[in-house]
């Protein structure tokens, strides 16, 4: 500057890192392919009092329904399309030497260094967003039912744990669309991680209605019913407060007409033979999925 004097501009702030919800995403596979993300750094300040440009923020798309943890502490969740969650704040740009001029030191030869941005290792858990969750023992017919009442094409087999990850289908009519999830099979001790354990239990926490799918052809079908309720209690007692219905499947495999008196609405079907499916679908359409 003419006659001297400080004129150094401030450094730009660093960009921050955000997670942003994307309705079209269904899995966390993209994060497995690219696990590291970094926002842009701020630019240096220049002479003539010119401040540096701030760095661009980084936005990481994630599916709806994720929970985000830092050091095993929940910091937030993303449930809506376009919803953003700050996960790493950018650094603060340093001040230029113009801020440090005094009557004694009118031409300071130093400036303030910028502060580094945050670095975090995140734990991201996806919990499906579905109105209805079909739960039951392996081979109860959950995937067959999902295929029968929705547009899904789930894998079906006669061996345990055919469903390794939740499958989604949509039950549609002219008035509404109901998202239904077929959960991996639960067995006794699932809350302790037996079988597919938490892979099953964590996904039903956000469903608004539970379908308890029971194989009526086994010797003690009500034992499956009791075991499911007990697993809910051990994992999260709030699951018992969710509305639920009970569906006894495979009625085509029994010779006598079995009926059970339960407190929940009960349906008797054969998902494979399409027996009782229409009554079940009509019942699902009449339920209000608020909240």
Segment 114-126, tens digit of pLDDT:
889 999 999 998 8
* Local confidence band at 99 (pLDDT 50, 70, 90 cut-offs): confident
Query: CA 216 to CA 140: how far, in whole Å?
Result: 9
pLDDT at 153: 58
pLDDT at 234: 83
pLDDT at 17: 97
Q: Token pair of 117, please?
A: 């941005």
Nearest to 164, CA basis, from 144, 182, 180, 140: 182
Query: CA 169 to CA 147: how far, in whole Å?
Result: 8
Distance of CA 126 to CAs 34, 67, 254, Å?
Answer: 17, 6, 39
pLDDT at 238: 87
Segment 126-155, tens digit of pLDDT:
876 678 988 888 888 888 898 888 865 544
* All domains of the chain in start order, with CATH: 17-126 (2.70.210.12), 132-286 (3.40.50.300)
Segment 25-82, tens digit of pLDDT:
877 878 888 999 999 988 887 877 778 788 999 999 998 888 899 998 999 999 899 9
Q: Token pair of 226, please?
A: 């009791």
Q: Is residue 97 within 8 Å of 6, Cβ to Cβ? A: yes
**Residue 196 region, left (φ>0) first, then alpha (ψ -120 to 50), else beta?**
alpha
Q: Is residue 92 within 8 Å of 6, Cβ to Cβ? A: no
Query: CA 13 to CA 71: how far, in whole Å?
Result: 26
Listed ranges 159-163, 243-247, 255-259; the one with the highest mean pLDDT: 243-247
Higher pLDDT, 154 or 223: 223
pLDDT at 152: 53
pLDDT at 109: 73
Segment 226-252, tens digit of pLDDT:
998 988 888 888 889 999 999 999 999
* Local confidence band at 268 (pLDDT 50, 70, 90 cut-offs): very high
């Amino acid at each position: 500057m003419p006659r001297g004097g400080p004129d150094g501009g401030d450094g730009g702030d660093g960009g921050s890192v955000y997670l942003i919800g994307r309705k079209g995403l269904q899995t966390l596979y993209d994060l497995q392919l690219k696990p590291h993300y970094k926002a842009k750094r701020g630019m240096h300040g220049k002479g003539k009092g010119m401040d540096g440009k701030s760095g661009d923020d980084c936005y990481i798309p994630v599916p709806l329904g994720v929970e985000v943890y830092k050091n095993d502490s929940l910091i937030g969740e993303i449930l809506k399309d376009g919803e953003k969650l700050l996960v790493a704040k950018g650094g603060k740009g340093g001040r230029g030497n113009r801020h440090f001029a005094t009557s004694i030191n009118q031409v300071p030869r130093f400036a303030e260094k910028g502060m580094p941005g945050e670095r975090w290792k995140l734990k991201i858990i996806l919990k499906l967003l579905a109105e209805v969750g079909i739960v039951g023992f392996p081979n109860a017919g959950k995937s067959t039912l999902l295929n029968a009442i929705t547009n899904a094409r789930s894998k079906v087999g006669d061996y345990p744990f055919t469903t390794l990850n939740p499958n989604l289908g949509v039950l549609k009519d002219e008035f509404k669309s109901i998202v239904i999830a077929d959960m991996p099979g639960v067995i006794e001790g699932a809350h302790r991680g037996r079988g597919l354990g938490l892979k099953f239990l964590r996904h039903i926490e956000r469903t608004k209605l539970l379908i308890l799918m029971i194989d009526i052809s086994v010797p003690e079908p009500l034992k499956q019913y009791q075991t499911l309720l007990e697993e809910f209690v051990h994992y999260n007692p709030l699951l018992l407060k969710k509305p639920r219905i009970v569906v006894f499947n495979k009625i085509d495999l029994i010779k006598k007409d079995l009926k059970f008196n339960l407190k929940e609405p009960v349906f008797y079907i054969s998902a494979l033979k399409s027996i009782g499916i229409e009554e079940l679908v009509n019942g699902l359409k009449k339920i209000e999925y608020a909240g």
